[in-house]
Amino acid sequence: MMIETTELSGVYKISVPTPFPVGAVNCYVIEGEPLTLIDVGPKTEEAVVTLRNRLDLLGFDFSDIEQILITHGHIDHAGLTASILENSGAAKPVIRIHSRDAERILDNDGYINRRMKAYLDIVKSSGVPNEFYSYYNHERLVRYFSPLGASVKSVTNISHGDTIETGIGFLEVHHTPGHSMGSVCYLHHESNTMFSGDTLLKDISSNPSLSFDENELSLSFYLRSLESLQPWDHYTVLPGHRHSIDKASQRIEELQRDYHQKRDVVLGLIDTSPHTVYQVSRMLFGEYPVESMVLALAETRDYIRILEKDRTDIIINEVNGVYTVSRTYV
């Protein structure tokens, strides 16, 4: 595989492999001063080799990178940051990440530990049958995920509205919480292009309910984030996975339509007899594999919580730590 050019001159895409079902992550090299990398990939040998070889084809090595812009702190996008720093010689690149995701790369092991505990919590509070618990064994998951990232000592926090200098001109930081609470899009107004991270992906879901451990309705944040991108919805999108999107509006409208449809389906599934979140998730998504269970539960729970907030006839109850939902016909 060779280096791929992008819609934007001076910007190259490097597909870095990940061990996850989503496949490769897109990292973008922005030529010029300061030499910039958007996202870096997970901490695997394959990812390091791929990134190093592709940079080499462009005439660069790790020590040339002056700036790393992280779209969000997920391990498939940011896990390799510490390794790049280790290999970058005396002049370390600046690492820019939104403050809400900074913890993920400042304390990799602590974060993974808390996150995996949250996975097990949602499995239990959703009323999942015991037979599935072994997959969500805390130690097993920590052992798998922790080595895919590593902590860095310091980062530079970015906020909504910041402008960042790159070789192709300024990028504006647009905070789009939802997929993670610190997700950002980088807007290049000169060329009508946005680097969207996982906030907008072409044919796959952005999993907007993943931030469930923060006790926040991340799906609601995500919907507001989509709305907030509307002034730039004619922009070309260079996303965090797979192919670019000609016009952001196409995808934004599709995602909004999907949301309304699914919310109505969930409403139709709720009746006067209480159902657990797990039961509703099975009715909504069918026989999904155990690896997708947390995602299915988190998304189902978000729909239920949104419905409960918006309507007076939806009741959430908690018995022995397990949540059920029912509907009173008023």
Where does this chain bind Zn ion (CB under 5 A)? 74, 198
For Zn ion, give the closer residue by CB, 41 or 127. 41
* Residue with the shortest CB distance to Zn ion: 74
**Nearer Cβ to Zn ion (42/274):** 42
Structure tokens at 254: 């599709």
Residue the block writes with tokens 């498939």? 76
> Minimum CB separation from Zn ion for residue 201, in Å?
9
Question: 96: which 2 tokens?
Answer: 């820019």
Nearer to Zn ion, 184 or 217 (CB): 184
DSSP category for residue 241: S
Minimum gap (Å) between residue 176 Cβ and Zn ion: 12
CA-CA-CA-CA torsion sign (103, 107, 110, 116): positive
CB of 202 to Zn ion, least distance (A): 15
DSSP readout, 206-222? --TTTTGGGTS-HHHHH
| Strands lying side by side in the sheet with 236-239 | 163-166, 169-175, 184-188, 193-197, 236-239
Q: In this complex, which beta carbon is closest to Zn ion, that of residue 198 or of residue 213?
A: 198
User: Cα-Cα-Cα-Cα dihedral of 50, 52, 54, 56, to 10°?
Assistant: -150
* Shortest distance in whole angstroms from residue 151 CB to Zn ion: 18
Using DSSP bridges, classify how beta strands 4-5 and 169-175 pair: parallel, antiparallel or unpaired: unpaired
Closest CB to Zn ion among 74 and 327?
Answer: 74
Nearer to Zn ion among residue 183 and residue 193 (C-beta): 183
Phi-psi region of 301 (alpha: psi -120 to 50; beta: other; left: phi over 0): alpha
Helix (H) or strand (E) holding 105: helix 99-106
Return the DSSP state at 286. Answer: -
Cβ proximity to Zn ion, 42 vs 127, nearer residue: 42
> Tokens at residue 80, please?
């390799």
Q: Minimum distance from CB of 90 to Zn ion (Å)? A: 32
* Closest distance of CB 247 from Zn ion, Å: 22
CB of 71 to Zn ion, least distance (A): 8
Please state, in angstroms and rounded to a whole number, the distance separating the CA atoms of residues 241 and 226: 18
